[in-house]
């Protein structure tokens, strides 16, 4: 059976588990890997972006800088589910 694209969620604050870059980079070799939602900070996002991996910020408070300064591709956001227009404006400005 073939399962479709998958985004890895690395959310140590909620899971008490931090998927280290070595693990994510190994998983990225799988054909169904689509990218990673990363909650371990800007430097981690920059590291993935520098390696060509799609990486979305998982921290609403860091999302703008993650995209505009560290090469992130966007945000997978709790806030955007509640007030999407406001979050879009925050990300765009």
Distance CA 51, CA 87 (A): 27
> Among residues 3, 37, 69, 70, which one is catalytic?
37
Active-site entry in 3, 9, 29, 51:
9
37: annotated active-site residue: yes
Contact present, 24 and 17 (Cβ < 8 Å): no
Active site residues: 9, 37
């Amino acid at each position: 059976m073939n399962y479709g694209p998958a985004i890895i969620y690395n959310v140590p604050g909620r899971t008490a588990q931090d998927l280290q870059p070595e693990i994510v980079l190994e998983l990225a070799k799988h054909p169904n890997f689509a990218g990673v939602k990363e909650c371990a900070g800007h430097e981690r996002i920059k590291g993935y972006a520098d390696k060509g991996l799609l990486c979305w910020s998982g921290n609403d408070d860091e999302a703008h800088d993650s995209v505009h300064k560290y090469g992130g591709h966007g945000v997978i956001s709790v806030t955007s589910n509640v007030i999407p227009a406001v979050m879009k404006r925050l990300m765009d400005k």
